[in-house]
Amino acid sequence: MILEANNIKKFFGKNEVLKDISFNVKEGEVICIIGPSGSGKSTLLRCLNRLEEIQAGTIQILGEEITAMKNINNLRKEIGMVFQLFNLFPNYTVLDNITMAPILLNKMSKKEAETKALALLEQVGLTDFKDVYPSTLSGGQKQRVAIARALEMGPRIMLFDEPTSALDPEMVGEVLKVMKDLAQAGMTMVVVTHEMGFAREVADRVIFMDGGYIVEENTPKELFSHPQSKRCQTFLSSVLHPAGLEG
Amino acid sequence: MAAYFSLFIECLPTLLSGLEMTLFMAVVSLIFACIIGVILGIFSISNIKWLEKIATFYIYVVRGIPLMVLGFFIFFGIGGGLNLQFSALTAAVISLTINASAYMAEIFRGGIQAVDIGQVEAARSLGLSYIQAMMRVVLPQAIKIMIPAILNQFITTIKDTSILSAISVRELVMNGEIIVARNFKPFEVYSYLAIMYLIVITILSLITRRIERNMSYDSRGK
């Protein structure tokens, strides 16, 4: 088991946003987390690399209990994170965005880092943009650079926090394609997403969250065609058949 | 007109020695103010409550006291009253430093807080420590945001040195007053002072604009 979360609780002040969450991820698995806004999906993901601290429960990643760690920096190198708003560093070029961390942290020499970065840029189709600054890129290009930046560290697991939610519709496909390739290459992935097509096609398991709980967890085939709970049925029918667009 | 210029040439040595003192005071106090300002700025964004309180209190007190009162208090009150015997120049530099550092602290705090929190999160999730994220990602962006405000503070401090003529530091204004007392030509002499301040501040603005341009990393930049 690459990730094991047991009975997580998370509060923002008095507001309990995660209520007794337990789930696990096996090596090579792709998990998609879906659910309405405010259901706690993003918060859950952010707890997994301790961008948010949990108040109860345990999270083990690669066999290490992350809540007990004094210094999480080393483990974070094994956990790639991709954000909704990209969070590229505007003061570095595309290439430097990717190579800055591994060079600074002595994970690779400058030469190794650049060779690997160029290969990753080729993988995401952005070789020509290596020397530009992020402000000149489109949203889809920025997100592909952000994915390359996370992959450069050689993570064992990748966390995606609504990676296509801030993109113009015509750019969603290019990012999902990169993620699909990554999944097919065997990367372990936890993806918070509103892209039901992606979840259905790529995920090994889909988790449906609502109100801070995991309401349902199943294979995409089962979950999308036979949702068990009323809440999941309502959610799926509203995202798959938006009101007003029928007929 | 010719008389105006020839009087200027005549006054120039005295004015220049005053300008030298003005710039010396400004440069020395701004260096100290930057150092203290950075420290206080870090205090005020730290999560340690009592450090934050120290910074808040310092800024609150210093911003509430006019520079001239501060200068009088340090020179006459502490220097004279407690018989510590430091020069007017020392008192002036201390006053300017205290005054400017409070504003610098606010500039640093504001600049750092203006950088999107997502930048720290991205850096931290790559495995950088808090300090590394600050040094490599946040500060370079924050400094760019801060430059106009820092320039503004530099200009303010250069002009504020004139207030310290009140404790008889022989800076530009003081020397101007000495000349006026001798030749009774306030129109000419004070206009010389104004022009000299303007020239210094213009040069400073040009340098800053160049720095800003060199730091640019948007689409118009490199």
- For residue B56, the one-letter residue type is T
Measured distance between the N- and C-terminal CA atoms of chain A, rounded to whole angstroms: 46
Among candidates A59, A28, A30, which has minimal Cα distance to A43? A59
A141 located within any domain:
no
State the DSSP code for A61. Answer: E
Tokens 């002595």 belong to which residue?
Answer: A106
Other CB atoms within 10 A of residue A112 CB? 13
Task: Test A91 with B218 for CB contact under 8 angstroms.
Answer: no
Average pLDDT, chain A: 94
Confidence band for A246, pLDDT divided at 50, 70 and 90: low
In a domain, A30, yes or no: yes
pLDDT in tens, A5-28: 999 999 999 999 999 999 999 999
Is A26 contained in some domain?
Answer: yes
Nearest CA in chain A to B215: A91
Q: Is residue A212 part of a domain?
A: yes
Q: What is the mean pLDDT of residues A50-67?
A: 94
In chain A, residues with a C-beta closer than 8 Å to the C-beta of B125 are: 49, 51, 76, 79-81, 150
Find the range with the poorest average confidence among A62-71, A110-119, B27-36, B61-70: A62-71
CB contact under 8 A, A133 and B221: yes
- How far off is chain B from A198, nearest CA to CA, in Å? 24
Domain interval for residue A174:
3-78+156-240
SS3 content of chain A, % helix, strand, coil (to 5): 40, 25, 35
The token duo for A124 is 């995401």
Q: Is A60 helix (H, G, I), strand (E, B) or coil?
A: strand
- Chain centroid to Cα B184, Å, comes to 32
Q: What is the pLDDT of residue B1?
A: 82
A229 pLDDT above the threshold of 50: yes
CATH of the domain at A52: 3.40.50.300
User: Is the residue at A70 inside a domain?
Assistant: yes
Calculate the CA A185 to chain-centre distance. Answer: 16
Q: Is A13 domain-assigned? A: yes
Between CA A195 and CA A203, with CA A199 as vertex, the angle to 5 degrees is 155
* A223 vs A200: CA distance, rounded Å: 9
B214 touches chain A (CB under 8 A): no
Distance CA(A57)–CA(A67), nearest Å, equals 9
CA B89 – CA B101 distance, rounded (Å):
18
pLDDT at residue B17, as a whole number? 95
Average pLDDT for A210-219: 96
- In angstroms, the separation between the Cα of residue A221 and the nearest Cα of chain B is 33
In a domain, A142, yes or no: no
Give the tens place of pLDDT for each residue, B134-173: 999 999 999 989 998 999 999 999 999 999 999 999 999 9
End-to-end CA separation in angstroms for chain B: 48
Shortest alpha-carbon distance between residue B114 and chain A (Å): 14
Region class of A176: left (phi > 0), else alpha (psi between -120 and 50), else beta = alpha
Cross-chain Cβ contact A101/B116 below 8 Å: no
* Nearest chain B residue (CA) to A48: B125
**From the CA atom positions of chain B, what is the Rg in Å?**
21
- B200–chain A Cβ distance below 8 A for any pair: no
**Residue type present at position A230:** K
The domain segmentation of chain B, as residue ranges, is: 2-221
**Residue A244 binned pLDDT confidence (cut-offs 50, 70, 90):** low
- Residues of chain B with pLDDT below 50 are 219-222
Cα B85 from Cα A23, distance rounded (Å): 72
| A106 burial via Cβ count (<10 Å: 0-12, 13-18, 19+) | exposed
Contact B111, B142 (CB under 8 A): yes
What architecture is domain B2-221? Orthogonal Bundle (1.10)
| Number of domains into which chain A is organized | 1
Give how far A50 is from chain B: nearest CA, Å: 9
DSSP for residue A194: S
